[in-house]
Amino acid sequence: MNPSPVLLRNYIAGEFVTTKTTFANISPVDGTLIGHVCEADADLVDRAVRAGKAAQQGPWGQYSAAQRAQLLHKIADGIERRFDEFVAAEVADTGRPVHQARTLDIARGVANFRTFAELINQAGNECFEMRAADGSDVFSFSVRKPHGVVAIISPWNLPMLLLTWKVAPAMACGNSVVIKPSEDTPSTATLLAEVMHEAGVPEGAFNLVHGFGPNSAGEYLTKHPDIDAITFTGESRTGATIMKVAAEGVRDVSFELGGKNAAVVFADCDFDAAVAGVIRSSFTNSGQVCLCSERVYVERPIFDRFVAALKQAAENLKIGYPDEDGVNMGSLISHKHRDKVMAYFDLARDEGAEVVTGGGIPNFGDERDRGAYVQPTIWTGLPDDARCVREEIFGPVCHIAPFDTEEEVIRRVNDSAYGLATAVWTRDLRRAHSITRKFHVGMVWVNTWFLRDLRTPFGGVRLSGIGREGGRHSLDFYSEITTICMHP
Ligand SMILES: NC(=O)c1ccc[n+]([C@@H]2O[C@H](COP(=O)([O-])OP(=O)(O)OC[C@H]3O[C@@H](n4cnc5c(N)ncnc54)[C@H](O)[C@@H]3O)[C@@H](O)[C@H]2O)c1
Ligand SMILES: O=C/C=C/C=C(\O)C(=O)O
């Protein structure tokens, strides 16, 4: 049972703002009310964007890169000071294991601010020298400037991690931001606004509006003419909708979208490590990670043994309360999302899948039966053109199939409308070097998964996204660059 319901407010021009229209925030663990959220209407979104624009002409627009770096470290300090509150808020909204919220979600929130504080402080700009036709030595150099006001729209699956992955570089580059977190996970975004306020972020530099997508704050924000760039993380079809809106005014976009990622397990792999790795890549966060492996291809000589081992490992996963000792998996984000996942469980049977394990809803015999839990599920026996093998499900489920040759598995992995991430398990370094570049994806992990160096480019191809963020790639997206040519 959650403590007394809280009221989550918007944050605009340095002030917390309530609204008459609110929506409920419901626990996915037991269906109880966590609190109410103040929904921003079009006028309030307009106020937020105007505050961001005004901040560019105020003190925030005068901050040097070093001053912005210092402020980002102060924000990271503020999150660290309230770390347990952020963990509790993320767990309340999502039902995830406390351990995950501590070691992944909130820890990455701190790391994102610190990473981009360092990067903006160290980032140099290009400078070239040439001899002009008149014999003069000419210097051409570039300078970075902010776009202005950046709209940041984030999803519910890794709320704090993904929101700060965008807020940190956007502010590092001097932009004002208006953030619109998912309606399913409003709590840590609101805590972040409190930390921004406590850190003394100049008013209008950071603004928060709560609401939904269509005909609500998300749409009002992306359609606002004073939004200079849009960074969005979410479903591919939402990205397509936002892209059409961004075309009005030709605004820059950075999209991190859906995936139908593959894990490829060769017979020469470290078997136990590969089993543990595929369990992680299929069931972390109840499969609600865009990088999760919903397709698993195993070289035929070890296929039967691998299926048996993966089944056993999946059945050993502990599903339960977020704060239970040793819990591995929590609930899904909502009943609505569980209905979507369960519909795929039914579809898989209709498409002829063999259910190796799972496929249903666990029976706890307590209030968790009012939550949004599903069983970790493994299928086999489906053809590559089955919808369950082609469509993103975004739950704790994978389909496992045998393959015989490298050429075959590369073709099958690439036969997808998505292209986000692939995980490869092999001890053969030659093979690892030769096949990894042949996958049409944004990222490939070898003998690991979701291990992140925040300086590297992150993003997907095809329906999985547009652009790359991470390291200087973020600085490039969140800056406008002017090239200046100096003739003596
Ligand atoms: N590639 C990545 O890095 C990455 C990371 C996380 C999640 N995702 C993807 O996100 C999806 C799950 O997240 P979700 O269900 O929150 O996605 P979603 O697209 O339903 O919503 C994402 C955000 O967009 C807002 N939104 C929805 N419609 C909008 C519109 N028309 N205009 C403006 N805003 C709108 C929502 O309110 C929410 O804040 C999955 O497909 C997952 O693969 C991708
Ligand atoms: O659910 C998708 C996870 C995305 C992860 C990142 O954007 C990251 O690790 O920076």
**Averaged pLDDT, 394-411:** 98
Q: Note the pLDDT of residue 164.
A: 99
pLDDT at 448 over 80: yes
Report pLDDT for 374: 98
Percentage of the chain surpassing pLDDT 70?
A: 99
Q: If residue 294 lies in a helix (H) or strand (E), which one and from where to where?
A: strand 293-299
Q: Note the pLDDT tens digit of each residue in 136-169.
A: 999 999 999 999 999 999 999 999 999 999 999 9
* 164-187 tens-digit pLDDT: 999 999 999 999 999 999 999 999
Average pLDDT on 338-354 reads: 98
| pLDDT attached to residue 3 | 60
Average pLDDT score over residue span 286-292: 98
The pLDDT of 116-134, averaged and rounded, is: 96
What is the pTM (predicted TM-score) of this model? 0.97
Residue nearest to ligand 1 atom 29, measured at CA: 213
**Strand ranges (DSSP E) for 320-415?**
354-357, 377-380, 397-403
Side by side, the strands of the sheet bearing 137-146 are 127-131, 137-146, 479-486
Mean pLDDT (the chain) is 97
3-state SS string over 135-196? CCEEEEEEEEEECCEEEEECCCCCHHHHHHHHHHHHHHCCCEEEEECCCCCCHHHHHHHHHH
Q: Which residues pair with 232 in a beta bridge?
A: 153, 255
**pLDDT tens digits, one per residue of 310-338:** 999 999 999 999 999 999 999 999 999 99
Apex 296 CA angle, 295 and 301, nearest 5 = 150
Q: How far is CA 112 from CA 106, 124, 169, 404, in A?
A: 10, 20, 8, 41
Quick one: tokens of 78?
A: 């503020």
Closest CA to 80 of 102, 52, 53, 47: 102
Going by the DSSP 8-state scheme, the letter that residue 259 receives in this structure is -
Calculate mean pLDDT across residues 418-444: 98
**Which residue's CA is the closest to the ligand 1 atom numbered 17?**
234
Bridge-based pairing of strands 149-153 and 229-233 is: parallel
Q: Tokens in use for 166?
A: 């965008």
The HSE-up count of residue 246 (CA atoms within 13 Å, CB side) is 20
Name the pairing type of β-strands 15-17 and 10-12. antiparallel
Query: How many angstroms is it from 421 CA to the middle of ligand 1?
Result: 18
Q: What is the DSSP letter of 370?
A: G
Q: Is the pLDDT of residue 220 over 80?
A: yes
Give the single-character DSSP code of 286: G
* Residue 262 CA, ligand 2 centroid: distance in Å: 16
The rounded distance, in Å, linking the Cα atoms of 358 and 262 is 20
Strand pairing class (22-26; 15-17): unpaired
Span 395-409, average pLDDT? 98
Q: How far is the CA of 300 from the centre of ligand 2 (A)?
A: 31
Pairing of strands 377-380, 397-403: parallel
* pLDDT tens column, 366-381: 999 999 999 999 999 9
- Which ligand 1 atom sits closest to the C-alpha of 460? 1
Please work out whether the CB of residue 459 comes within 6 Å of at least one atom of ligand 1.
Answer: no
Of the pLDDT bands very low, low, confident and very high (cuts 50, 70, 90), residue 2 is low
pLDDT for the residue 5: 78
| Complete edge-to-edge strand list for the sheet that includes strand 261-265 | 354-357, 377-380, 397-403, 293-299, 261-265, 421-425, 443-446
pLDDT of residue 442: 98
Q: Residue 4: pLDDT above 90? A: no
The dihedral formed by the CA atoms of 469, 472, 477 and 478, expressed in degrees to the nearest 10: 110
- pLDDT score, position 457: 98
Ligand 1 centroid to 54 CA: how many Å? 28
Q: What is the ipTM of this complex?
A: 0.96
Structure token pair of residue 124: 């140099």
The count of residues in the chain is 488
Which stretches of 65-104 are DSSP H helices? 65-81, 83-94, 98-100
Measured from the CB, is residue 458 less than 6 Å from ligand 2?
yes
d(CA 267, CA 273): 12
Pocket test of ligand 1: the residue of 183, 210, 238 to mutate, having most ligand atoms within 8 Å of its CB, is 238
pLDDT in tens, 10-39: 999 999 999 999 999 999 999 999 999 999
| 476: its two tokens | 């490039």
